[in-house]
Structure 1
């Protein structure tokens, strides 16, 4: 491939504000990677990124008020004094390689001249590989502080960071929160998003993108701005609009390994990738999907999906949750011991399964004698009759998945007594720089009324790995459960542990993920065939170790199915927090269930008594039936670009009850598409959640979905009152554009394939 590096030298006399007349030279260096063109300006004591241009349109993407290319924060030994050095200024020497051909481009900064003599050993090197065919630049960064110096410890490194110019009112920011969120006009709306990765509550992936919306008459190019880190090292990811509303700063900020030790260094885990983007969130997701197959956490996929996930789990269409207070349809009566007994949960669970007539997953809370979020991790004994109830349910294709926690140990782990916390758990607890454990509190109370304090355990320790494994295998081998839910692993963000006795680097690095991986791989090796494990939320670097992610938190107004677009087929996503079952005709329930279907999730986390509510039950039965009938698309296929419905489509609005007054708006027709690429088959969904018929159309080119020819065979799928699928076949043109009227509260699907292809 041809890479072109063009040097243009601009010498200017920049007189300092003194009588010496000392002249500072600047040199501009242009990096050309296809249509993505960058410019660096080197001065005598720094180097700055001063331009990012789309060569095809001539558009400048970089803001005038630029951000430093990198920032290093160091701490002086024996103090709490932190100082910052950036790429811009303060260096004894700066060099830019005269790269030729395929030789990587590099910039070197040496000697932080304002931090004293020992800072002379500080060096930073940024190097880049260029891919002209993709208009892509992939960055690496290394920082040395001098192994022998005793004065400065590197605390964190912000790299890369870039200030992008406002792309206008139709611009969009893709931020990797939960399912993925797309924020319109982020500069004017003063966007401010940040979180610690990996943490499924806030940051599930490492990709961002800022681009012009395709709703504009002329597409505006943007930038794909992501970390391709295959090990999932801890990092803060942020996107923040500046106060003047004219620019957006995107940044990755990495805590350094051994950040409490002078002389430490930093090497970027993976590569920071910039690519010119002419498209939207789905195009950015496809770039990221192409890369993640190289990541440490990506599972091996076969033609039928993940062979290490049991077939029943790959196919499962619906989940229910019970084990609560047993009195109402309210979901969250978790605290206390009243719920969870077999006699309390069995009647509703069995009745739900009989009504829907398909395999059901049952998430069983409070199966244990201890209260919820109290006395962890001593879950046994189980409530009387638990194992017998499990066997009975699973004979009826009701797959039982009990709850346990994967992070926390109660500091008073036998009522109000310290049973094993100090003697067993404390050495393995994650600790701050002062050597103190990290404690968390929830709503749970001890018998004496005091709030339960739960310590975050370090996943790198054998003690914690073995404790999780012991509980999981006991549930499977002694109680017979087909699955176990291990709470919080892919939900909660890492903590920076400083206990050197654990054997991991202090502070940053990838040890949080690798520690969990070690323990979970042992579980997968030892658990019986045909069993599975799941966890909460959807932080990506744990995918290979789990069979399912509980995506109950996908509740955002601005979310798009970015995570399913990237990871569809590699893990089963299931569950939303419904919280609307007391309303017999609940719009929020219809909106969530429809979104689950088009996102490729297993439907539900319903309370089983939802079947007693005529309107809710009638609707979710349609969704469940379609999910069951088309299940292979979701474990052996992948998401395709969701079609956009056109026409006069009303906006519906409902309180999703995630938090008080959690109102979500959406067009009344939900759409989606999933492919079986090896078979050239596509299924399209359209679901009308409103209370009146809606006429709409979808302007499609079926060639964009991998189908060939000018005419295709389509089978329309609808669900009758008995949950049977009715099918109607027809021939459709490559560009179908005819209107259709979808009845109220109705879910439809169309399977489309080449005309000459045999259809089952």
Structure 2
């Protein structure tokens, strides 16, 4: 392997005032990093995947931006001073070897002296082309504290005419975009912490390998500046504030799917996957891995039981009931009190369980009603701002609900008691705790809580501690469900309700990374979606392994389906998805998705109009283009079988063919038989013709092929 660190000399002879600092290069035969010279701040000039010849982050700017540091006055959390890599009066290489660079910036105006703020960057490059970048600022001026660190921070990060970003925002983990976007991590906005920079001939992976999952925000601005803002810990406390420390990994990749694989390799060693893969765990309820259709019900016990039992006999796999308004408490009032239940609740649960169903009553996992009689006794355990102001939220119920700090022992006991009562006294085999993986960590500033003020990963760590006794004691008796899918909560919950906005540029990075560790559920369609858009969204449940349902307008309710456009067709479509999910479960349930099915000819694009692309409303609709047929490859956990899942979305008959051998596994799959699996479980062998499998689609077709 040929490593080199070179200074590419450039001299303007005899004109000393116009001397241009030479770029600095760290490279091998897999990856090349070119930085601006020391006189120009040493930002990134370009990154090159040497094996593919693709170049990323290329700029002609003489002094490119790389990082920013934000400072506040001691005792405050409001930024008053910002400095970046271009502001230093001194920038120099401290250490260099063939595979390592250490750079230091110092001498920033407005601070006490030249050493009041120093910023070190360490870059290492391994033989596989994987580079690690870690930025460490140090502040030695007691007048100021850190409020945040922006790193990486890159201007004009893509050429939108030929590049896109796999951006970690979206219902299924990411969106593939070339326009402005932002999200707060970890929350429903941003559930993962990695990016992919995508070109036709390859990709650049950028993973924020932060084991603390510290709170941070991601933004691609209108001017295409990419920034990762890391919130500081102990903001406002002189001498104690600090920024999160973790490596940013940049490496060449073939595609968005390989970016997911690179992140998965790291994520499998993190604390949130420490309970292991679902099929290896002994602490899960029987048949929990088989859940098929989800029902979203909201009524009294007698009616809910009738609605649920009308669906259960129609399904091969167990149904799950997500049940709102099961208790006598007012919704979004009186939290954290959840009991007593309505009359007949215990009998309803038993009847549904006798039918093989899982029942998930709604419980809130985060809030305390400030109007309740006992709130004043716990006010000091709620989150507060720096000035002591209580942090509370209002969801339209008329009550202000305090956000409880997860360090609260009182709240932890209450949550445990609610779960214990539901399972031990009422026989529940499912628990839904709302908001936990959806709402961003609150940057609590109460100094008496024992956690760092403001940022960092302490919120998620303390929720892990709060949930651990609950999962340890009840994980084998009930499936635990929460709202949305922020990754740090995977070891505290089994299933995640993905119910926010959907777009045609969504990408299933959550499933590609965590399919073996988490179950995802929900079909975000509404009655206004036409059949093409309905198929576009529901087909994801098959191709991306998302448990379908949660459609209270279509399943298990007394809704007059004659008022729902194409209701019978839509129910039949979901039935076919469920049947094929069941038939493909031997590969998909515990397998890994790894690539798009390649068709020849490629599908024409059609326009889909998803109505669920605003937070709660259904307008304005954002149309988007998507292939009229598409497919996803899956590999079995043991690596000995592959499944191709296909969907036709246009509603017309179409003919095509797909490349028969799964990309990257051609040698492993060669010589094996290919079968089409039908909804009833039948297998029919198909022939490969000149390396492809011919396909004839009927309108809104779903097809499954297995190589074994």
TM-score normalised by structure 1 residue count? 0.84
Contact 1:652/1:690 (<8 A) preserved:
no
User: Structure 1's 657 and 120: CA in aligned 2 closer, same or farther, altered over 3 A?
Assistant: closer
Query: How far apart, CA to CA, are the structure 2 residues paired with 1:429 and 1:681?
Result: 51
Residue matched to 2:122: 127
- Which of 102, 106, 117 does residue 106 from structure 1 map onto? 102
User: Structure 1's 645 and 83: CA in aligned 2 closer, same or farther, altered over 3 A?
Assistant: same
Residue 384 (structure 1) shift: 0.8
Query: How far apart, CA to CA, are the structure 2 residues paired with 1:165 and 1:154?
Result: 26
Task: Verify: 1:298 aligned to 2:273, yes or no.
Answer: yes
User: Structure 1's 28 and 730: CA in aligned 2 closer, same or farther, altered over 3 A?
Assistant: closer
Residue by residue over 1:429-484, the C-alpha shift from the partner in whole angstroms, topping out at 9 and shown as x without a partner, is 1111121122222232xxxxxx2222222123222222222212221111111110
Residue matched to 1:334: none
Residue 681 (structure 1) shift: 0.9
User: Structure 1's 381 and 130: CA in aligned 2 closer, same or farther, altered over 3 A?
Assistant: same
Query: How far apart, CA to CA, are the structure 2 residues paired with 1:586 and 1:60?
Result: 40
User: Structure 1's 501 and 744: CA in aligned 2 closer, same or farther, altered over 3 A?
Assistant: same
Task: Verify: 1:406 aligned to 2:365, yes or no.
Answer: yes
Aligned residues: 689
Please show how residues 3-14 of structure 1 align to structure 2 within 5 Å.
3-8=3-8, 10=10
- Which of 428, 432, 444 does residue 485 from structure 1 map onto? 432
Residue matched to 1:447: none
Please show how residues 183-202 of structure 1 align to structure 2 within 5 Å.
183-184=176-177, 186=178, 191-199=179-187, 201-202=188-189
User: Structure 1's 67 and 253: CA in aligned 2 closer, same or farther, altered over 3 A?
Assistant: farther
CA RMSD of aligned residues (A): 2.8
Which range moves more in the overlay, 546-555 or 78-87?
78-87
Task: Verify: 1:348 aligned to 2:281, yes or no.
Answer: no
User: Structure 1's 170 and 739: CA in aligned 2 closer, same or farther, altered over 3 A?
Assistant: farther
Query: How far apart, CA to CA, are the structure 1 residues paired with 2:22 and 2:651?
Result: 65
Contact 1:154/1:263 (<8 A) preserved:
no
Query: How far apart, CA to CA, are the structure 1 residues paired with 2:669 and 2:228?
Result: 45
User: Structure 1's 62 and 464: CA in aligned 2 closer, same or farther, altered over 3 A?
Assistant: farther
Consecutive unaligned residues in structure 2, runs of 5 or more: 562-566
Please show how residues 616-655 of structure 1 align to structure 2 within 5 Å.
616-647=570-601, 649=604, 651=606, 653-655=608-610
Please show how residues 285-684 of structure 1 align to structure 2 within 5 Å.
285-301=260-276, 304-323=279-298, 340-413=299-372, 419-424=373-378, 426-444=379-397, 451-527=398-474, 529-553=476-500, 555-580=502-527, 586-607=531-552, 610=555, 613-647=567-601, 649=604, 651=606, 653-658=608-613, 659-665=618-624, 666-678=626-638, 680-684=640-644
User: Structure 1's 707 and 301: CA in aligned 2 closer, same or farther, altered over 3 A?
Assistant: farther
SS state at 1:127 partner: strand
Query: How far apart, CA to CA, are the structure 1 residues paired with 2:555 and 2:485?
Result: 26
User: Structure 1's 393 and 682: CA in aligned 2 closer, same or farther, altered over 3 A?
Assistant: same
Contact 1:233/1:269 (<8 A) preserved:
no
SS state at 1:108 partner: strand
Residue matched to 1:331: none
User: Structure 1's 67 and 481: CA in aligned 2 closer, same or farther, altered over 3 A?
Assistant: farther
Residue matched to 1:739: 694
Contact 1:649/1:696 (<8 A) preserved:
no
Please show how residues 241-320 of structure 1 align to structure 2 within 5 Å.
241-242=222-223, 248-277=224-253, 279-301=254-276, 304-320=279-295
Residue matched to 2:81: 83
User: Structure 1's 487 and 649: CA in aligned 2 closer, same or farther, altered over 3 A?
Assistant: same
Query: How far apart, CA to CA, are the structure 1 residues paired with 2:667 and 2:71?
Result: 56
Consecutive unaligned residues in structure 1, runs of 5 or more: 16-20, 214-218, 243-247, 324-339, 414-418, 445-450, 754-760
SS state at 1:97 partner: strand
Residue matched to 1:176: 168
SS state at 1:343 partner: helix
Which range moves more in the overlay, 532-541 or 665-674?
665-674
Query: How far apart, CA to CA, are the structure 1 residues paired with 2:628 and 2:513?
Result: 25
Query: How far apart, CA to CA, are the structure 2 residues paired with 1:54 and 1:747?
Result: 37
Residue by residue over 1:194-246, the C-alpha shift from the partner in whole angstroms, topping out at 9 and shown as x without a partner, is 222101x2101111122213xxxxx2x5432220112201111122242xxxx
Query: How far apart, CA to CA, are the structure 2 residues paired with 1:718 and 1:509?
Result: 49
Residue matched to 2:564: none
Residue matched to 1:64: 60
Task: Verify: 1:692 aligned to 2:652, yes or no.
Answer: yes
Residue matched to 1:448: none
Residue 693 (structure 1) shift: 2.3
Query: How far apart, CA to CA, are the structure 2 residues paired with 1:271 and 1:81?
Result: 25
Residue 704 (structure 1) shift: 2.8
Query: How far apart, CA to CA, are the structure 2 residues paired with 1:62 and 1:7?
Result: 18
Query: How far apart, CA to CA, are the structure 1 residues paired with 2:319 and 2:342?
Result: 22
Residue by residue over 1:642-684, the C-alpha shift from the partner in whole angstroms, topping out at 9 and shown as x without a partner, is 2144445562534434522435553343422222141511122
